[in-house]
Amino acid sequence: MRIINLWNNEIGDEGAIIATKNVRGKEVEEINLGDNKIGDKGVIGAVENLESTSVERISLGNNKITDEGAIGAAKNIRGTNLEELSLGYNKITNKGAVTIVEYCRGTKMKKLNLSFNRGITDEGAVEIAENIEGTHLEEIDLRQDKPIGVLTQELLKKQCPHIKWIF
């Protein structure tokens, strides 16, 4: 089993923690926990459980994750093999987004999806770019309901030309 897809099963925090706890010692590369009513406790526990596992990609989009969960999960990224983290369609603001990028330093993280969160602004996008150095990030999805401004997009592309920015 290489992929675990539990999308849209309303498993909540406890289900996310149990699902990720059970991947230890198994050849799982990807876990989709999107649209499951997972909150801060669930995302923190889920990422913590991925320490020393083979999981490279986790999707936690369309849940109830706030800055508290993003920051708590970020603190656990370094012990994982994650290369892709999808946190789109949650309630993350600049603070949580920037913290995630800061904690990507020293990890294998290549792709970060922060699309359609409710509080990532131009200022947050600039701060994200200022914290990319020392990471292996190659792609960052920052599409938002209120799009990142054109001038900010150009600044980010110039400041970090090695990043594939998705606006």
Domain that includes residue 102, residue range: 3-166
Question: What's the rounded mean pLDDT across residues 91-97?
Answer: 98
pLDDT score for 15: 98
Q: Number of structural domains, the chain? A: 1
Q: How confident is the model at residue 115 (pLDDT cuts 50, 70, 90)?
A: very high
What share of the chain in percent tops pLDDT 70?
99
* Max Cα distance, the chain (Å): 47
Structure tokens at 30: 């990807």
Residue 115 in 3-state DSSP?
Answer: coil
pLDDT tens-digit readout, 25-45: 899 999 999 999 999 999 999
pLDDT score for 118: 86
d(CA 150, CA 42): 35
Determine whether 102 is exposed, middle or buried from the number of CB atoms within 10 Å of its CB (0-12, 13-18, 19+): middle
pTM: 0.97
Please determine, for residue 83, whether its predicted confidence score (pLDDT) is greater than 80.
yes
Please determine, for residue 1, whether its predicted confidence score (pLDDT) is greater than 80.
no
Please determine, for residue 2, whether its predicted confidence score (pLDDT) is greater than 90.
yes
pLDDT score for 35: 98
Return the CATH number at 144. Answer: 3.80.10.10
Q: How confident is the model at residue 162 (pLDDT cuts 50, 70, 90)?
A: very high
pLDDT score for 50: 97
Please determine, for residue 116, whether its predicted confidence score (pLDDT) is greater than 90.
yes
Question: What is the average pLDDT value for the chain, to the nearest integer?
Answer: 97
Given a contact cutoff of 8 angstroms between Cβ atoms, the answer to whether 47 and 80 are in contact is yes
